[in-house]
Amino acid sequence: MSEFIITTDENVYIPAEDSYLLAENLEIEAGQSVLEIGTGSGIVAMYASRLTDNITVTDINFDACELAQKNFKANGIENIEILFGNLFEPVKSRKFDVILFNTPYLPTENDEVIEDNLNYAFDGGLNGRKVIDLFLNEVPNHLNDGGIVQLIQSSLSDNGKTLDMLDELGFIAEIAASEHYFFEDITLINGYKI
C-alpha cells in the first residue's frame, strides 16, 4: 500500500485506509507551506514531502513525534519540522497554505476510552466531534487566504455538520472522496478558504 518504509509502534495509530485516503488525495502545490495535525506515524507528511518541502507536523502523542522522526529518517526525509502538542498550540500564531488532519472521529463512550496515548488517535467523544469542532473553530486563524483544509472523518461523526461549520467559517466545502467500510463511510472533506 505504501512505497515508504514504515515502522509502527503499539502506542501510535498504524496507517490504515483513512490515512491513505488523505495521503492519496493531497492538494498541495510546490512551495506551499503545509501543517499536518496529528501526524502519527508520519505517513501523510511523507506523501506531502513529494509535493513541497515546507512541512510542519504536530502530535499530542509524544510517542508519535518520536516514531514520525524515525520514519522520516528511514526514508531520507529531513525537511519536516516536528512539534509536540495539542492541535494548533505548538504553531502559535503561524499560518499555512494547507492544513491536513486525519481526525479522531470515532464516537466513544466513557467505557471505551483506552488508557494510553493511542486513545488520542480514536477518541472523538460521545458524538465523534469532540476534537473536530475544536479544530474547525481554530483552523481559520492558521490558514492563509486561498488556502485549503483537508480533513478525514466518518459518517458516524456527522459530515453535514462539518460542511455547515466550514460554510459558516467562510469556506467553500465539499466531500472530495469517500470510501465505504462496514457500517460507515470514511470521508475526505476539503474546505477552501475564500
The confidence score (pLDDT) of residue 95 equals 98
Residue ranges making up the domain that contains 119: 30-193
Is 6 a member of any domain? no
Is 23 a member of any domain? no
Q: Name which of 131, 180, 118 is nearest 154 in CA terms.
A: 180
Is 38 a member of any domain? yes
Is 9 a member of any domain? no
Report whether pLDDT(121) > 70: no
Whether 98 contacts 79, CB under 8 Å:
no
The secondary element (H helix, E strand) that includes residue 175 is strand 171-181
**134 φ/ψ angles, rounded to the nearest 5 degrees:** -60, -45
Alpha-carbon span 108 to 87, nearest angstrom: 19
The number of folded domains in the chain is 1
Report whether pLDDT(126) > 80: no
Q: What is the mean pLDDT of the chain?
A: 91
Is 21 a member of any domain? no
Share of the chain above pLDDT 70, in %: 87
Instruction: Give 12-49 pLDDT, tens digit per residue.
Output: 888 989 999 999 999 999 999 999 999 999 999 999 99
Is 16 a member of any domain? no
CATH classification of the domain holding 77: 3.40.50.150
17, three cell numbers? 485506509
- For 99-115, what is the mean pLDDT? 75
The confidence score (pLDDT) of residue 189 equals 97
Q: What is the arrangement of strands in the sheet containing 33-37, beginning at the earlier edge strand?
A: 80-84, 54-59, 33-37, 96-102, 143-154, 184-193, 171-181
